[in-house]
Chain A
Amino acid sequence: MAEIVSLAEAVGRAIHDGDAVAMEGFTHLIPFAAGHEIIRQRRRGLTLIRMTPDVIYDQLIGAGCARKLIFSWGGNPGVGSLHRFRDAVENAWPASLELEEHSHAGMANRYVAGASGLPFAVLRGYNGTGLAEVTPTIAPVTCPFTGEILTAVSALRPDVAVIHAQRADRAGNVQLWGITGVQKEAVLSSERAVVTVEQIVDVLDPRPGAVVLPAWTVTYVAQVPGGAHPSYALGYSARDNDYYAAWDAISRDRDAFTSWLAVLMKNAL
């Protein structure tokens, strides 16, 4: 059953050095505040899992939290490169970064398999691509009914899922709407789940198209208004496109990034 705690407590209790951590949110509802708390608490050796490791994972990688990245698209959307990610891969700064690389369809299906309690998922994909050659969690599989050769991808089973949602009630039931991405699958495939929310309310009145995660699927809920910034929470905030554009210059330069990191470490929530 979900416990309502502070963000610092949620991160401190749920996320340990060496854990596999899936922080999801497809452009919308990215759990930035939780990512910053992980940096502040100096977690190390993490396997970071995320379909689109955009600015949030650029920050965690630059801060030295990550050992390995499991992903499908590592760019700053609409802006360009993630320079901390590139510096880690191209120059091993601040440390080398092991990659396990998929397509979006592959990653989404890996979460589906994890949420379904299956060892793998099947899709039509990857045939003829270089990814099938460099990624060991992609393999051919033969359909037992038609003989067709399809592609299997192994299940994702993270230690912790971290997501941001619009609302929770006082029992810890969580509600999110708008672009809901792969968050339900990330939570259900993980051992533990941390959810930050814009607002804790008495009653979760129904919303069109909302995903509801019952309290017993969530480990910790923390109220963090604006916790998705510079991403956004539909109905609460708008995407801060200027932040994404400004991140390019910070990320491009090790000294500028180091200064940014020093300020983050000083500013507790």
Chain B
Amino acid sequence: MSDMYSSDEIMTVSAARALRDGLTCFVGIGLPSAAANLARATHAPGLVLIYESGTIGAKPGLLPLSIGDGILAETADAVVSVPEIFNYWLQPGRIDIGFLGAAQIDKFGNINTTVVGGDYGRPKVRLPGAGGAPEIAASCREVIVVVRQTRRSFVDRVDFVTSVGYGSGPGDRERLGLTGAGPRQIITDLGVLEPDPETLEFTLTGLYPGITVDTVRERTGWDLAVSASPQAIAPPTADELTALRDLHARSNTA
């Protein structure tokens, strides 16, 4: 069974593995939420899931469609107001990991979920906007981004900086007064990118089985650097796939 999985499945499994048991995790909806719930269902039962709707320690048992589904409130350790979740919980740096998606991301891990093309007032494509992401990206101790990799989504410079990664390079986060360390990994459907320790430019450091460096470079909109020996990331185990598919199955029939 373990050699039969989709690219979304290995991406979700890979993202789940990045979450250690016992951490607190501010979860965005979609791919990040699937990965965080998979981690809790497998190796990290003590992972604390926090959603921007004010649900702290949610234990949904299936994948919520929105960040405010009833199951999150019903299973949470605490439900607080939206001003409180941002002011008391996120802003002081209490939360270990911010787990975000992106529409567009650049080589310094800056995220755009606002507008693509044209100008701000009359864009070619109007995206949903910021939501909680700018402050999650600024204030969580570190950030992990989960996003499908295409030449359109992985760009040299984002059209609009909705959430700051490393700005335009070393020193920018400190200059801007951003308290968290910034994006530590971008986990895609091809592999894993991590910031170069010197330049902070995202570099290919891990590859899924059967994916070549050339494929990743073709699907990256900047001249992607590759680490000396990219790690071969293990395929999903049978247990991981079963747990993920069970989560999806429960969600579709709920």
Return chain B residues, CB-CB under 8 Å to A149.
Answer: 177
Stretch at the interface among B42-50, B120-128, B206-214: B120-128
Return chain B residues, CB-CB under 8 Å to A206.
Answer: none
Return chain A residues, CB-CB under 8 Å to B67.
Answer: 27, 77
Query: A35: CB under 8 A from chain B?
Result: no
Among B79, B123, B162, the residue within 8 A (CB) of A209 is B79
A90 contacts B134, C-beta separation under 8 Å: no
Return chain B residues, CB-CB under 8 Å to A90.
Answer: 122-126
Query: B153: CB under 8 A from chain A?
Result: no
Interface string of A32-70 (1 = CB under 8 A from B): 000000000000000000011000000000000000000
Query: B169: CB under 8 A from chain A?
Result: no
Query: B52: CB under 8 A from chain A?
Result: yes
Q: Give residues of chain A (74-127) contacting chain B, Cβ–Cβ below 8 Å.
A: 74-75, 77-79, 81-82, 85-86, 89-90, 101-105, 108-109, 111-112, 123-127
Return chain A residues, CB-CB under 8 Å to B127.
Answer: 81
Q: Give residues of chain B (151-174) contacting chain A, Cβ–Cβ below 8 Å.
A: 160-164, 167, 172
A27 contacts B68, C-beta separation under 8 Å: yes
How far in angstroms is the closest Cβ of chain B from A130? 4
Among B81, B131, B134, the residue within 8 A (CB) of A180 is B81
Return chain A residues, CB-CB under 8 Å to B54.
Answer: 26, 179-181
Query: B29: CB under 8 A from chain A?
Result: yes
Query: B221: CB under 8 A from chain A?
Result: no
A103 contacts B65, C-beta separation under 8 Å: no
Among B70, B128, B131, B176, the residue within 8 A (CB) of A238 is B70
Given the interface contacts A104-B86, A109-B83, A123-B91, does A89 sit within 8 Å of B126 by beta carbon?
yes
Query: A131: CB under 8 A from chain B?
Result: yes
Q: Of all chain A residues, which has the CB nearest B133?
A: A103
Question: Roughly how many angstroms separate A239 CA and B251 CA in the complex, as a whole number?
Answer: 13
- Determine the main DSSP class of B at the interface with A: loop
Question: Roughly how many angstroms separate A72 CA and B164 CA in the complex, as a whole number?
Answer: 16
Return chain B residues, CB-CB under 8 Å to A103.
Answer: 130-135
Question: Roughly how many angstroms separate A73 CA and B161 CA in the complex, as a whole number?
Answer: 15
Among A77, A85, A238, the residue within 8 A (CB) of B66 is A77
Query: B179: CB under 8 A from chain A?
Result: yes
Among A71, A78, A184, the residue within 8 A (CB) of B30 is A78
Query: A258: CB under 8 A from chain B?
Result: no
Return chain A residues, CB-CB under 8 Å to B162.
Answer: 129-131
Residue tally, chain B, CB below 8 Å to A: 53
Given the interface contacts A27-B69, A181-B81, A239-B66, does A125 sit within 8 Å of B134 by beta carbon?
yes
Given the interface contacts A90-B125, A105-B90, A178-B70, does A73 sit within 8 Å of B130 by beta carbon?
yes
- Determine the main DSSP class of A at the interface with B: loop
Query: A244: CB under 8 A from chain B?
Result: yes
Among B72, B122, B139, B161, the residue within 8 A (CB) of A128 is B161
Query: B129: CB under 8 A from chain A?
Result: yes
Given the interface contacts A26-B53, A129-B161, does A105 sit within 8 Å of B132 by beta carbon?
yes
Question: Roughly how many angstroms separate A130 CA and B125 CA in the complex, as a whole number?
Answer: 16
A241 contacts B65, C-beta separation under 8 Å: yes
Residue tally, chain A, CB below 8 Å to B: 55
Given the interface contacts A26-B54, A77-B67, A179-B72, does A108 sit within 8 Å of B129 by beta carbon?
no
Among B128, B163, B177, B179, the residue within 8 A (CB) of A73 is B128
Return chain A residues, CB-CB under 8 Å to B167.
Answer: 128
Query: B138: CB under 8 A from chain A?
Result: yes
Return chain A residues, CB-CB under 8 Å to B139.
Answer: 124
Interface string of A12-38 (1 = CB under 8 A from B): 000000000000001110000000000
Question: Roughly how many angstroms separate A52 CA and B130 CA in the complex, as a whole number?
Answer: 10
Q: Of all chain B residues, which has the CB nearest A110?
A: B83
Return chain B residues, CB-CB under 8 Å to A125.
Answer: 91, 134-135, 138
Return chain B residues, CB-CB under 8 Å to A181.
Answer: 53-54, 68, 81-82
Given the interface contacts A105-B132, A244-B65, does A182 sit within 8 Å of B81 by beta carbon?
yes
Besides A27-B66, A105-B135, A234-B73, 7 new A-B residue pairs in contact (Cβ under 8 A), listed by A number: A28-B73, A78-B64, A78-B65, A101-B129, A111-B83, A123-B91, A124-B177
Write 23 A-B pairs (CB below 8 A) sorted by A numbering. A27-B53, A27-B67, A72-B129, A72-B130, A74-B128, A77-B66, A78-B66, A82-B128, A85-B126, A103-B130, A103-B133, A103-B135, A104-B86, A104-B132, A109-B83, A112-B83, A126-B134, A128-B161, A129-B130, A131-B130, A179-B79, A234-B74, A239-B65
Instruction: List the 7 shortest-distance A-B pairs measured between CB atoms, nearest first.
Output: A27-B68, A75-B128, A77-B66, A78-B65, A73-B131, A105-B86, A128-B164
